[in-house]
Amino acid sequence: MIENFNKYFVTMLGLGRLKKIPGTISSFVTTIILFFYFHIFSFPKTFFLFFWLIITIYAFVAVANYIKSKQNKDPKEIVIDEFIGQSLPIYIYEISHGTEKFFEDSIYFYVIMFMTFRVFDIIKPFPVSYFDKNFKNSFGVIMDDIVAGLYVVLFIIFFMMIRVYFA
């Protein structure tokens, strides 16, 4: 029972089992879901933080259980780490500077966050690569995406500063 739950959890209800680009598709689905969460339904930001923390903590356990009998310790079907990593910059964007986010601006920044997250997750600049190469366990699987998400946060801050400066 718990093994089946973990399988659906780490593959985001089977998205990770897609043949082509499951990580990118999972990141895209996460971006769309969060756009609806924050901009269409206007659900509370604090609830999402609580939800994200629970998902992240449980992911360490679920991924560890899922990979314990596998040869490859970071199989491509595990995409819950994409949800965790992609959600981080989006959440930080949503709580930043406490102002109302306009629909068009939000679409623009969500696209940038999605694309930059995928770039950082694929090219794995240091320290993303450090976690990916040195931790062949659930910690490495999840932390490289968290760090990639933090890189996106830094990129967005830099991008916003440049945008204001040249506006």
Q: Which two tokens stand for residue 122?
A: 């694929």
59, 64, 69, 70: CA torsion to nearest 10 = 70
Closest CA to 120 of 23, 46, 2, 14: 23
Closest CA to 83 of 108, 58, 65: 58
Looking at residue 125, its pLDDT comes to: 96
Which pLDDT belongs to residue 80?
Answer: 98
Per-run averaged pLDDT (10 residues), the chain, 167 residues = 92 96 97 96 94 98 92 88 98 85 90 98 96 94 97 94 84
**pTM for this structure?**
0.93
What pLDDT is stored for residue 160 in this prediction? 87
Residue 37 in tokens: 């969460």
pLDDT of residue 70: 81
Nearest partner of 83 among 130, 16, 138, 20, judged by Cα: 16
